[in-house]
A and B are shown apart, each in its own frame.
Chain A
Amino acid sequence: MTHAPSLSPTSPAPASATGFFRRFRSTPAEPASAKRVQFSSPFLPYLFLAPQMAIIFIFFYCPSVQAIRSSFYLEDPFGFGSSFVGLANYTDVLKSTEYLGIARFTAVFTALVTFFSLSIGLLLAVKADGVIRGNAAYKTLLIWVYAIAPPVAGLMGMMMFDQHIGPLVKFAGLFGWEMKVGLNYNDTAFAMIVVSVWKQIPYNFIFFLSGLQGIPVSVREAALMDCRSGFRRFRTVILPLLAPTAFFLLIINTTYALFDTFGVIDVMVKDKAANNPITLVYKVYMDGFRGNDLGGSSAQSVILMIIVFVLTIFQFRFIERRVHYN
C-alpha cells in the first residue's frame, strides 16, 4: 500500500515521493520541464507497463471482483454452495448498530492516528533539520530509526502496554490510572492509538526531513531577511513548500490507519471480550474468518473500498488543489 512504483513510462524515476502524484494532476505539467521519452514502437511502453499491470490485476482487481460478486451471495460456511440474496448483505450490515459503532470508532481512530503521526513526525523533523544541516554523520544516525522493521516497532510498542511488565502501564499507575489494555474499552483504544502513531512516526519523520532538506537554503535565507518571526516564516514559506510531502503522507497515513494497523489491533484484542474497540478492516476479518460469514464480510470490504475511494478522491480534489509542486 505504501510504495507504489511509478507507472508512467514518461516520468524518469521520481526523485521524491511527490513525483508519484504528479501524474494524477489535472493540469498539464509545465511544457518546458516535462521530459519526453521517445519510443521506437508504440507498443513498447505497454510492454514495460505489463508486469506492473499484471501484479495489480492479480492482487487487486481479481480479488475486488471476487469480493463484489460474493457480497451478493449467502455463502455456505462449509463450501456447499451459495445462494443469491441481492443487497441483503449490505442492508444487514448498514442496519447493524454494532457496525455503525465500529465505523464511528474507525473514523475517530483514523483521524487521530493520522493527525498525531503527521504532526509529531513533522515536529521531530523540523527540530532535527535545524540541527543537522550539513552534518552527514548525525543525519545518518537519525535515518537509522527508519531501519527498524515496523513489526518490531509495533511489538516494542505493545510491550510498553503489557499488563505485567509494561512501563507505560506502571507509569499511568503512578497517577492512579489503572490501565487495563484489552479489558477496558477506552484504555484499549488509547493504547491502540499510541502504538499505531508510534509505529508510523519514523516513516513520516524521514519523509518530512527529506522534504525540509529539499527546500533551497537560499529561499530560507531570503525569508530570513523578509520576515522576522520564525513561526511566521515556517507558516508562510516552509510549510507551503513542504505541502507536496505532507499531502503524500496524508494519503499514506490515512491508508495506514485504516488498513495497516490491523496487526496492532489483532495483538491487542485477540481472543478477548467482544467489547473491545476494533476498526472496520478488523471487523471484515472477524466476520469473514472467525464468523464464517463470507457474504457479509465481502459486503463490508466493498463498503470499505468505496469509503477509501471517496476519501482519496476528496483528498485529491480538495486538498491537493492547495498543494504547490515545484
Chain B
Amino acid sequence: MAAINITNVSKIYAGGVEAVKSVSIDIADGEFIVLGGPSGCGKSTLLRMVAGLEAISQGTVEIGDRVINDVEPAERDIAMVFQNYALYPHMTVYNNLAYGLKNRGTPKAEIDARVAEAARMLEIEQYLTRKPRALSGGQRQRVAMGRAIVRKPAAFLFDEPLSNLDAKLRVTMRGEIKQLQKRLGTTSLYVTHDQLEAMTLADRLVVLNGGRIEQIGRPLDVYHTPASTFVASFIGSPAMNLLRATREGGRLHFGSQVLESDRLSALPTELTIGIRAEDLRVARAGEQSLAMKVDYIEELGAQRLVHGRLDGKKLTAALSPEIELSDTIALTIAPSRLHFFDVTTGKRLAKALDGLGGRREVASTLEAAIG
C-alpha cells in the first residue's frame, strides 16, 4: 500500500501527438481514484504510463517514495485488471492466480494460502482447476481481480474492467469492486468512460479532456459544481442541459422565454446556462416559468424523463411520474440551482456563483482548478 504521486506527466508520441498534457494527481494511500472522460481523452494512456506499459515522456510517477519512471512493470509493485481480462488461456484458474507469485519466488505454501484466500473472497473456489475458456464473463472478471489481489500490490490499476460485461453484471461487479477495495484498503486507479461507474466508485474523480485534467474532486462536488460545460455534460445522466442565454439586467432570455432573478447582476450579458434535469419542476400557478414543448417521454419508474424543446432548443426534465403532462408544460427552477458557464471557454463562472450563494459545498480543489 502506498501513495501515488503523478507530477507533470506528459505523453508525446513520435510525430508530436500529445496524448497526455502535464497531468498532476496526488493519490493518497488507500484512495480510490477514477479517471473518467470520453474515448481519446488520454485516461488509458495515463494509466498505462503508471503501469509501465507506455514510456513516460515527461514528468515523474512515484509509488510510495520511489520514482518508477524507469522501473520494469513487474518491479513496480502494482497489479492491473484489463478490460478483456487478459487471462492466460493455457493456464488453469489456479495457475493464472499463482503465476505472478511463482515468478517472484514466493514459497509454495504461501502461494497456496494466498490463492485460496483470494478465491474465497471472490467466490471462485470451485473453478480453480478450470481453464478460462470454461468460465463465463463474470467469472473471468473475478479471476482477473483475483490475479491482482493475490499479489498484494501497492496499487491496483483498472483499465475499464467492466465494459465487457452485460449491464446487470456490471452493476453487481461494480459494487463488489468497491467493497473489495474498501476491505483491502489498496490504493486504486480506475479508468472508465462510464460516468455512472465514475460517480459510484470514486473517492475522488478526475475528469480528463483532450489529455488535460478538466476537474478533480469528490463525485458529488463534481456533480454539483462542474468546473466546465465539458464536465457538466460528462457527469450525470441525463446530461446537464446547456442553453445559451442573454442577460438584460435581472432577466435571462432563452430566446423568447424569460427567467427573472435579482441575483444575476454580476454575470456577463452572454452566457451558457446549465440546468440539471432534476432541478426543473412544474411551475405552480403565478410562478414565473419556461414553456417546454414535449417531444417524447422516457419512463424510468421512479422518475420520468421528459424530453422537449425550449424555444426550439433541446431540454430534458426529470419529473415525478405522478404529474400529469400536456403537450406544453410550464417548468421552473430555483435561480440558485442554475449553473453559469462562460460562452467561449466553457469554464464555470465561479465568482458569479459565489454571488448567488446557496450552492452546496464547493470543493477547495474546484476553486483551485478554476483559479
Contacts and interface: CB of A to CB of B under 8 A. Distances in A.
B49 to A, nearest CB: 13
A271 interface: no
B134 A225 contact: no
Nearest to B95: A236
B340 to A, nearest CB: 44
Interface in A250-279: none
A226 interface: yes
A227 B103 contact: yes
Interface residues of B, number: 27
A30 B133 CA distance: 9
B86 A219 contact: yes
Contact of A326 (B75, B83, B103, B133): B133
Interface in A150-205: none
B46 to A, nearest CB: 16
B53 A223 contact: no
B297 interface: no
A226 B89 contact: no
A228 B86 contact: no
B83 A229 contact: no
Contacts of B103: 226-229, 232
A218 interface: yes
A32 to B, nearest CB: 9
A179 B123 CA distance: 68
Contact of B100 (A216, A221, A227, A324): A227
A227 B74 contact: yes
A222 B85 CA distance: 9
A150 B126 CA distance: 52
Contacts of B90: 240-241, 243, 324, 326
Given A241-B90, A324-B90, A326-B89, A225 B83 contact: no
Given A219-B89, A326-B133, A226 B99 contact: yes
B16 to A, nearest CB: 17
Nearest to A226: B100
B78 interface: yes
B82 A228 contact: no
Contact of A224 (B74, B133, B147): B74
B223 interface: no
B84 A224 contact: no
A221 B86 contact: yes
Nearest to B51: A225
Nearest to A236: B99
A229 B72 CA distance: 10
Nearest to A229: B103
B254 interface: no
Given A218-B82, A228-B75, A223 B88 contact: yes
B222 interface: no
B78 to A, nearest CB: 7
A6 to B, nearest CB: 21
A229 B73 CA distance: 11
B79 interface: yes
B77 to A, nearest CB: 10
A93 interface: no
Contacts of A88: none
A68 interface: no
A218 B100 contact: no
Contacts of A142: none
Interface in A208-246: 216, 218-219, 221-229, 232, 236-237, 240-241, 243
Given A226-B99, A229-B103, A221 B88 contact: no
B52 interface: yes
B80 interface: yes
Contact of A226 (B52, B74, B83): B74
B89 A222 contact: no
Contact of B82 (A33, A221, A240): A221
Contacts of A243: 90
Nearest to A232: B103
A91 B169 CA distance: 70
Interface of B: 51-53, 72-76, 78-80, 82-90, 99-100, 103, 131, 133-134, 147
23 contacts: A30-B133, A218-B82, A218-B86, A219-B86, A219-B87, A219-B88, A221-B51, A221-B53, A221-B80, A222-B80, A222-B86, A222-B147, A224-B53, A225-B52, A225-B78, A226-B74, A226-B100, A232-B103, A240-B90, A243-B90, A324-B89, A326-B89, A326-B90
Given A224-B73, A228-B74, 6 more contacts: A221-B53, A221-B86, A222-B147, A225-B79, A227-B74, A232-B103
- A-B pairs, 10 with minimum CB distance: A226-B100, A218-B86, A324-B90, A228-B74, A222-B86, A227-B103, A240-B90, A326-B89, A218-B82, A225-B73
